Chain A
Amino acid sequence: MADTMPLYEVFVRARRGLEHRHAGSLRAQDAEMALQYAREIYTRRREGVSLWVVRSGDIVASQEEDAPAFFDPADDKPYRQATWYKLPEGVKNL
């Protein structure tokens, strides 16, 4: 049964004001059961105040073979870092 059930990714918000963070995954028959199992598996020790579940298949992911084209060009562009810029005279806090 478990083999035929879709995989879901679980996101837990630890406290109000914080973002939902990826906690793990589980298998469930559908969204309602995924939400119930997420509660049972990922929030039983008071880890969260809100849950998201999303079908893993619905996530669009970058591919490993694309990594050089996706990420390497950022390596030599230090001007995209805030530290590249000198603070103008007179600015105390930025």
Chain B
Amino acid sequence: MSLLDAVVGLADDALVLGHRLSEWCGRAPFLEEDLAIANTALDLLGRARTLYGYAETLGGRNEDEYAFLRDAPEFRNLLIYELPGDDFAAACARQFLVDVFDDLYLTELAASRDETLAELGAKCAKESTWHRRHSGEWLNRLGDGTAESHERMQRALEGVWGYHLELFETGPGETRLVASGVLPDRGALERRWSAAVHEAIRSATLDVPSNGRRVAGGRAGEHTEHLGIMLAEMQQLPRACPGANW
């Protein structure tokens, strides 16, 4: 894997999750949360744009082509980011799991030997620290809330569990970038991630799922059926009106 491929993979992670969050715009449980989700979505879209911009300087395509003119098999995001999360509990559960990961990963990325990635890591780690604080509150509130919210949050955790393992996989070719200090070692983050997440799940009176599932394939372009449906809506306008400005 080249640096370009790695950067596009990280950009796709941020774009896909950012779009998933933007789907809540106008649909969140109340106005204040609607604004909070939209702010988080914009943080992630900003992250994606910085990374696509960097990819272009490395010989890649431009950001609109990456976002709007690729089909699902060309996307390289990890699968956990593309899950629908259309129940609020599911959105919060997935968000907390990836926020904790992103917080750890970006903090390490800030020490990258690649100057652009180091700058991005330093800036965005602070964003993810914030996102994690917010999604952690929801995990706790829904888990330790009413009987129904507890049950739905537990179901949400079961639904996403197993997809998180892909976060810790070092892809083929990524090893070289890790060895040269450009990218953080994903595998090395799993212990700290598990400690933080398990503790949060338990203190929310929930059970850590143990379904033994392991789902992966995103970096190879093998996606769930959900991504295609998401892209169909996200890409509809730029594909119908190529080159349009608005």
For chain B, residues 20 to 44, give those with C-beta under 8 angstroms from any C-beta of chain A.
29-33, 35-36, 39
A2 is contacted by which of B31, B36, B133 (Cβ under 8 Å)? B31
The contact size tier of chain A is 10 to 19
Contacts A2-B30, A5-B30 given: A40-B141 contact, CB under 8 Å?
no
- Which of A30-38, A63-71, A76-84 contacts the other chain? A30-38
Which residue of chain B lies nearest to A40 when distances are taken between CB atoms in the complex?
B36
Return the contact of B141 from the options A29, A37, A39, A44 (Cβ within 8 A): A29
Report the tally of A-B residue pairs with Cβ distances under 8 A.
31
Q: Which residues of B35-82 are within 8 A (CB) of A?
A: 35-36, 39
Interface mask (A30-67 → B, CB under 8 Å = 1, otherwise 0): 00110011011100100000000000000000000000
Closest-CB distance, B50 to chain A (whole angstroms):
18
- Flag if A36 contacts B134 (CB, 8 Å): yes
- Give the distance to chain A from B67, nearest Cβ to Cβ, in Å: 24
- Would A40 and B137 count as touching, CB distance under 8 A? no
User: Which residues of chain A (10-38) have a CB below 8 Å from chain B?
Assistant: 26-29, 32-33, 36-37
State the CA gap A33–B32 with chains docked (Å).
10
Considering the chains assembled together, what is the distance between the CA atoms of A37 and B36 in angstroms? 7
Q: Chain A's nearest CB lies how many Å from the CB of B132? A: 12
Interface centre among A26, A37, A40 (most CB of B within 10 A): A40
